[in-house]
Structure 1
Amino acid sequence: MKLEITNTDWSLLADKALSGECLSMEEGLSVLRADDDEVLPLLQAAFKVRKHYYGKKVKLNMIINAKSGLCPEDCGYCSQSIVSTAPVAKYTLLDKDTLLAGAREAIARQAGTYCIVAAGKGPTDRELDQVVDAVKEIRATMPLKICACLGILKEEQAGRLAEAGVHRYNHNLNTSKENYPSITTTHTYDQRVETLEKVKSRGMSPCSGVIIGMGETDEEIVEMAYALRELDADSIPINFLNAIPGTPLGGAGRTPAMKALKVLALFRLICPSKELRAAGGREVNLRSLQALSLYAVNSLFVGDYLTTDGQDVSSDHQMIEDLGFEIEQCAL
């Protein structure tokens, strides 16, 4: 049965979010199942919350694919996994000079956060040494926040990254706990949660998000938002599946742009104060409606992703300017 809600009620959901109350499952489903004609009033409600916490500022992040195509995991969405036949670059962890060059490029793109991402179940001691060495030099010489994404961490590895100056650690939940076994079998949902708890215990900011479009139900999308609220993730990247030929999910369809906007509004209303990012797949799923995402999110990736192309950086800068928003400068 489709839930009905009026324009006025969207504003009431914004007020509820601002008061600190969490939306009910019924309210969450009403957002996802709203008529497409309700998307603009729904985004207005999301923007009320976004503006309260972030004004009209937009945070920019840049990814460097620090290790590519050599992953033993079987994640169905990933072109770098062991089960993928997609033609991607394969290389071991980049050297320090290349990681430093990436940091300088992040600054040139006006990104405040530089994300060092390495495919794999977790870092080896040698890989961790390389990342720690690069992070120390970046922190000493450049005005950047550093986010690392290296897989499942041991306690001592989390401690070393924190000591080196890593501000944030990314480890996405990706999908709901119920849907997780259909996406990967080489690690568990609980292992991801455990890594995020280790990150928090070491004083790093937890970054964790989702990938929409992997067979999850609307109820599971709401549950993902609840899980991230419970985890108290500071930064939440919302990815929309970019189905890559050669991966198990290569034949999946795209998320309709209007549904994608409803998802972003939902996450803003359930996780009101958090940095919410329109992340991977926004270009191919939101398409011409990308600009509207900024009424719910306050963060974007600029440039390319791990193995897929992003929008031209100048186009992102122009989009932000045309909306009357402004890029937030890095504040360490």
Structure 2
Amino acid sequence: MNWITLAQEVIEGKILNDEEAMAILQADDDELLPLMQGAFTIRKHYYGKKVKLNMIMNAKSGYCPENCGYCSQSSISTAPIEKYPFITKEEILAGAKQAFENKIGTFCIVASGRGPTRKDVNVVSEAVKEIKDKYGLKVCACLGLLKDEQAEQLKESGVDRYNHNLNTSSRHHDYITTSHTYEDRVNTVEIAKKHGLSPCSGAIIGMKETKEDVIDIARALHALDADSIPVNFLNAIDGTKLEGTKELNPRYCLKVLALFRYINPTKEIRIAGGREINLGSLQPLGLYAANSIFVGDYLTTAGQEENQDYTMLRDLGFEIELAEKQAALL
């Protein structure tokens, strides 16, 4: 397979067939650099050498009734995590200030649970109004299954984006969780879109899915027209259903990122949770396919030191992309 030729065809509008998609995931490791060059050809066409930075604020930890097998906050997890109720507006604003000072363009307010209460949405809405005024950040909310009136309120307050990951393929979904359906997740993304929130939805790779499942989730996110696609790599936390699962290696993770770029050429592809332990020393290569990363800690697991991420971007010769108003304020 000539990966550069295939990349040019994708830029011209080609949709990968199943054979071509599988060829990416099954590519010999000796083809890895040409494959990543092909992915970079697409990435550079649409995004140049700019990188979007994201930071998570864990607004509520634990106490979740859902039984997701990957999550340390789920009802079936015995992981020893910190648990606390929904934080205050002031705490959210303090996180936004930190994001602004660290040149993070997108501030992500994330909360555990099946879905937000009216009070939760009110706290987020009030905080976002001040975040927009003071810091000009792009704000993404991730609060669980969403109702129409909640989506409308979040949009009116200034929330730019709503995240709700599909996580895996429709046929593999019931292995991961049974307390909500795949269709519930799709519906939440559609509600966000209906009310003018930019849809953010992604996947978790390494949950005992097949390569066909990986292709299916990449295609499903294309069909959903998600603007931003976080690609997580399983960090198998002790005390969760998937404890001890270790199916990934750095080279396969890079092939997955390339696949998502070839199938979703125009979209923001973000390397998300688990990149440090699964990509390891090959993390920089991931940005030849992806154009966005999380900086700092995740929900209940630690990321790498922020200065390492900034050093990595500088060494790659990439440029941090700021939110428009944020850039004017800095």
TM-score, length of structure 2 as denominator length = 0.97
Q: Return the match for 2:280 from 275, 287, 297.
A: 287
Quote the Cα distance in structure 2 between the aligned partners of 1:210 and 1:13.
24
Whole-angstrom CA distance in 1 between matches of 2:90 and 2:75: 28
State the shift of 1:76 in Å. 0.2
CA deviation profile, 1:136-163 (whole Å, cap 9, x unmatched) = 1111221200000000011111111011
1:216 aligned residue (203, 209, 214)? 209
Correspondent of 1:310 among 303, 315, 318: 303
- Report the equivalent of 2:160: 167
What does residue 122 of structure 1 align with? 115
* Deviation for aligned residue 1:254: 4.5
The Cα of 1:126 is off from its aligned counterpart by 1.1
Pick aligned residue for 2:265 from 267, 272, 297: 272
2:51/2:293 contact within 8 Å kept: yes
Q: CA RMSD in A?
A: 0.7
Q: Deviations over 1:250-273 (max 9, x none)?
A: 110051100000000000000001
Equivalent position to 1:247, from 240, 250, 254? 240
Query: How big is each residue's C-alpha offset from its partner over 1:73-127, in whole Å with a ceiling of 9 and x where there is no partner?
Result: 0000000001000001110111011000000111122110000000000001111
Whether contact under 8 Å (1:16, 1:23) holds in the other structure is no
Mapped pair 1:45 → 2:49: no
Deviation at 1:306, TM superposition (A): 0.2
TM-superposed CA distance for 1:276, in Å, is: 0.4
What does 1:136-175 correspond to in 2, within 5 Å?
Answer: 136-175=129-168
Distance in 2 of aligned mates of 1:304 and 1:11: 35
Q: Percent identity?
A: 59
Residue 297 (1) aligns with residue 290 (2): yes
Please list the CA deviations of residues 60-84 of structure 1 after superposition, one character each: whole Å capped at 9, or x if unmatched.
0000100001111000000000100
For 2:131 and 2:58, the matched residues in 1 are separated by: 17
Unpaired segments ≥5 residues, structure 1: none
- The question of whether the paired residues in 2 share the 8 Å contact of 1:254 and 1:285 is answered with no
Equivalent of 1:31 in 14, 24, 44: 24
What's the offset of the Cα at 1:128? 1.0
Contact 1:278/1:300, CA 8 A, preserved across alignment: yes
- Alpha carbons 1:278, 1:293 under 8 Å: kept: yes
Q: Name the residue aligned to 2:57.
A: 64
Instruction: Say if 1:68 and 1:90, in contact at 8 Å, map to a contact too.
Output: yes
Looking at structure 2, the residues matched to 75 and 201 of structure 1 have their Cα atoms a distance apart, in angstroms, of 27
**Contact 1:243–1:254 (8 Å) recurs in 2:** no
Length-normalised TM-score, structure 1: 0.97
Q: Is the 8 A contact 2:208 2:247 kept in 1?
A: no
Aligned residues: 325
In structure 1, C-alpha distance between the alignment counterparts of 2:93 and 2:247, rounded to whole Å: 35
